[in-house]
Structures are given as structure tokens and as C-alpha cells.
Structure 1
């Protein structure tokens, strides 16, 4: 996206000139398309081995440039894009993965218009005639739902009439998704991006300090009897009272308080729309509040044996941390085995420490 060599200034100047003209005509984002000789993320599939930091840097630059034209904060565009990406992960059959930098998804009918007699229509004029969402943001005369700029133009065109501000944004999201869960999730993502100011927020940490004494194994799916027959929706990490319990992700505190089963518990929502559940704590870190944004390794509370009763019940089982993971597909939420992820995060954090210590 960034030109190199002696033509850099001329290319940028040309783009700025075009932007001032196109801004008067709506949301055509052609000036963001690569100039001759520049690489385009849309010209070829993303290399799966490409450094993720470089991909995220390109994506962030695209959000920044579109934001400068539309006035929509980059965090809003990033949050919608990331939410759409998580829906694709959770619904791979109905929302197939696309190549490119942007993960926003439109079905063929949504893009072209439900009454459009031309399947897969890419003509902006006929798409508009039949009420399709497709836009030509790249200025090539084609509204292509596999083009990053066209996707961002379509989404920006929907958001802009609602105006700026958090409440305007929520109203726009409600009218777009018709799902309060979607509005909440995207709002959470916005807050995480606003806090850290970047997209590279997918590192994880092990929930207990690596230097502490602990043990765990896969116990997801095992039967449980207290409170009625049910399965164990997590892994138990056994450790002594008072061992710090840490955030495993960049996320936001979604739940904090007492649960008859889990005792004192905390729930975090990460940018992959995965809910991280911590139960049986002996207490919470004193500054931790609902809506707080947290980062990997940040202390949330301490290992305990709370739960299986009314608030304050302790000691009905050995001290341990119950840790669970739950996937959200926009309508439903379900648990999945956290054990492989715990092993992975434990290994990754150990390697980071070894690398840091030389």
C-alpha cells in the first residue's frame, strides 16, 4: 500500500487531489487503490505464511485512509470488520472465507439486490436500481464483493447517514443486524481498539503464573452432579489458595460477580468473540470492574474454592481455577474444550520468556 522510490511524493499528491474531488461525489474510494507498480491485496490471495503483523498493518492503514474520507472512526470500521470475521469462523458454510484484507461479508443477493434478475451483478447502477448494497469504492466501474475497497464503501455508505457518536453508531448497527448481541459485541470491540490504538491484539497468556505450582488436564465434557446432571464445560487448573488468576487475552470484562455454580467468577470477551470464563475465585483484583479492558497477563483475582451454594460459600472442593471457553455465532453460544488452547498458550508464553531472557 505504501509506494517506495522516487515516485512516492507524486503518487501521494495524485491521490490527495483525487480524494478532494471524489469526496464531493460520495463514497468512491478510488484514490486508495494502488498506483501503477504498487502491490494490491486484492490482486492475489493473501499468502497464508505472510507475517500477521504486516497484514494487520496494511489493514489498519486501509481503515485509517477510509476514515479520513468518510469521517467514520477507524475503530468502528475495525470492530465491524472483526465481528464479521468472527461470524465467518463460527459459520463457515453460510459465510465462506474470502481472500483479502477485509472480512466484511455480503451474500450475492444482498450485494446485487434481492429482485435483481442478474445473479452476481457487479454493475453499480443496476445494483442501486434493485436496492443492492454493492458499491464501487475502488473506482474501476465494478462493484465487486471480493474487493476490499468496495466492501468498505458499502459499509461506510450505510453508516454515514446516521451521523457520528456512540448512540448514532448503535442505532446504525441495530438497523443493520437487527440483533442486540451484534450491537453489544461490536461496541465491545470498539472499546478494545480505542484502548490500545492498534489491531495487533491477539496474543494470549496462560491463566496462572508459569512460576507457580499448578496442575491440569483435559476434563471438558466430564459429568457433574451438583445442581443437576450436567457436563463440565471447562478445564480445572489446581493450585493453592491465593495464586494469581490472569487474563488470557486482550478483552473486556463482560461479567463479574457471584454464580451458584462458579462462585466468584469473571467473564472476558475477546476479539475473536470468544468468552473466557474464570470460576471459583477467592476474590477479585480491587480495581477490576465491568466494562474494563484488560490485556494478557493482567491479574483478575486469585485461586479459591468458592461456589456450589449461596454467595460466600467456600471450601466444598479443593482450591482450583475452573477455566472455560465459549464460542458465539451471533445468535447462540456454546462451550468447547479449552485444554488444547491452555497447552498452546502455556507453551507460547514460556517461549516468549525464554526469548526475552536470551
Structure 2
């Protein structure tokens, strides 16, 4: 006997992004000359080229909005949880299924730790063993590779204590057991809410490409001040006071003095990358922690601050130290930003040429 879906079946069916071959109803002889709308849609989909990233994001956004209406969870939180899981899949090299949703449940947690059948897909027995798996598509199966089942399972988890934002955050902490994870999801949700879109992959070079500057790959080089350490970034040399710009859509996570980086600022993007800008001479007026920024937005100016107590400046030529760090949910590590800088520089020149 099939178990009932966690969502009303009529609404679930309306949420499907596109029907699959197995979901097309048998076509009657009378309709063979005129395919049903569902059949025609699938035929067109098979003939059409692969959807580009913008189209896929539009479909994902529509899905999050509809699920949000159904569950009472703000769509930005659903998008943020899915995006956080996506970044963890990358950082932890977890298996990724082919669907639109990136939420990952370990097999044992999906079916229940004490479940003798670790391949169980029956929602009733999964619930009996306190597994997270739910049936969101209405087919009586709790499938870890089904987008709607994954969303139904996550929304059930997120609303255990209620639908208020604080209650959702506590439920997420109970699941992740990690305040860092909850903070990242809150940040992503804030960014998505501010821009109202999932298309936030555009970047900008941290300096105006028309400025006089120079740089090369310096990541991993030795550094002596403050003890032996490696250089975790790329130095972009420019005149004092050249504008420093946000390289991404993101949220200002930290701002202030650091003995090594001087006046520095850190911005988190929705790919869970931390963009670090150091040795500034000052900040754009009014910018503060928690602010949302976009690519090309001025956040400060090139300087030579750092390597000493607060206010120390002039111990080295003016330049911007730019670093990139990836988060795996427990810690962060730096990686060479030079390839990204070269890419963003080319993209800025291309945009500039297209505008003239």
C-alpha cells in the first residue's frame, strides 16, 4: 500500500519541472494524431539543446518559491540550504546526483541508523526507524536522488520547531550540530533575498582595469613578518588610493584592523568562498559588517597598512593583498586566487569593450 505524500498530490504535480518519459500517461488511440500537452512538452524538451545555467536557475527559483508557498519557509532559505549543501558536496567531494537539487543525506541517515534495510525506500518503515527520507513526489517512494523527495525531507526537518526564522535556524542547528553551517545558510539567504535571484555568479576584478597596476602569482611564497608563514594570496601593486572593488555578490563578513593585513575586509559569496582584501588605506564611507555588496562596488582604497599595531602604515609599497578561501563546514583553507583574477580581468575588459 502506497503511503500518502507529505505534500498534496495536485500541488506536487504542478511543481514538477518537466515530465519524464515514465510520468507520461498512456496516450489513447484518438489522441495519437494530436499529442497531449505533456507528451508534446517532453518531445520538445528532447529536441531542444541543454538548458543554460540561467534557465536552470530560473527553474530552481520557481521550484523554491512554490515549495516556500506550500511550506511557509522563505524561498531564500530553501535556496540557501540547497546552495550550502552544494558547496559541501564540492569541498568534501561527496557524490552528486544528476538532479537540480544538491541536498545530500547520508544513506544511513536517510533510512534510519537502526534500519536493517539500508536500501529502504518505503516512507513508512523509514519513519519507523527515524530516518529523514520522505516522499515528496507522491509516488510512494522515498528516493535520495529525487529532487522533490529531497526537498520534502529537508523542509520537514527545517520546520520541526515551527516556521519562524529563529525556529528554522534552531532546527538547522539540531541537524548540522554546527553553528558555522547555520551562519553560512543565514548569510546565503540574506544575499538571495537582497537580489531576488539565483544568478549571482558574475565577478569583477578587484581594481579598475583602467588603473595602473601590476601583479603575478605570489601564492605560497614565504613570508617572514610575524613568524614563518606562506603568502596566502596575490599582491596587486597600484598607487595609493586606487579604488578597491568587490569581486562578487556577497555579504561583508568582517571589517577592521588585523596586525598582518592592516585595514582589511572579508566578503563571503554564495559559493562559500571568502574574498579577503588587505592593506587598505581606508574603507568606502558607510560600509559595515552585514552589508550586501555586488561586483564592482567600491569597498575601499589601496594602501600599505599592516605589519604592526593599529594604524601602522608604510612598511612596504602600496598594494592590495587579495586572497580566496574555501570552507568545508569545519575549517577554511586558502587556494591560489591568481587564475580567478586573470579570468575576472579578462571579463571586465570584455564588458568594457562591449559598452563602447
Normalised TM-score (structure 1): 0.88
Could you tell me which residue of structure 1 aligns to residue 58 of structure 2? 57
Work out the CA distance in 1 between the residues paired with 2:126 and 2:99. 22
Show CA shifts across 1:148-188 (max 9, x none): 10000001111223223332122111111010100110010
SS in structure 2 opposite 1:327?
A: strand
Matched, 1:29 2:12: yes
Work out the CA distance in 2 between the residues paired with 1:346 and 1:319. 20
Could you tell me which residue of structure 1 aligns to residue 281 of structure 2? 282
Deviation (angstroms), 1:53: 0.1
Could you tell me which residue of structure 1 aligns to residue 182 of structure 2? 183
Could you tell me which residue of structure 2 aligns to residue 8 of structure 1? none
Work out the CA distance in 2 between the residues paired with 1:276 and 1:24. 40
SS in structure 1 opposite 2:159?
A: helix
Work out the CA distance in 2 between the residues paired with 1:150 and 1:103. 12
Could you tell me which residue of structure 2 aligns to residue 202 of structure 1? 201
Could you tell me which residue of structure 1 aligns to residue 27 of structure 2? none
Alpha-carbon spacing, 1:23–1:121, altered in 2? closer, same or farther (3 Å): closer
1:115-264 paired onto structure 2 within 5 Å? 115-264=114-263
Could you tell me which residue of structure 2 aligns to residue 102 of structure 1? 101
Show CA shifts across 1:284-319 (max 9, x none): 001100000100000000000000011111100000
Normalised TM-score (structure 2): 0.88
Where in structure 1 are there 5+ consecutive unaligned residues?
1-20
Could you tell me which residue of structure 2 aligns to residue 325 of structure 1? 324
SS in structure 1 opposite 2:278?
A: strand
The count of corresponding residues between Structure 1 and Structure 2 is: 330
Q: For the aligned residues, what is the CA RMSD? A: 2.1
Deviation (angstroms), 1:354: 2.0
Deviation (angstroms), 1:26: 10
Show CA shifts across 1:110-143 (max 9, x none): 1111111112211111111111111110011111
Deviation (angstroms), 1:22: 7.2
Work out the CA distance in 2 between the residues paired with 1:70 and 1:185. 22
Deviation (angstroms), 1:344: 0.8
Could you tell me which residue of structure 2 aligns to residue 7 of structure 1? none
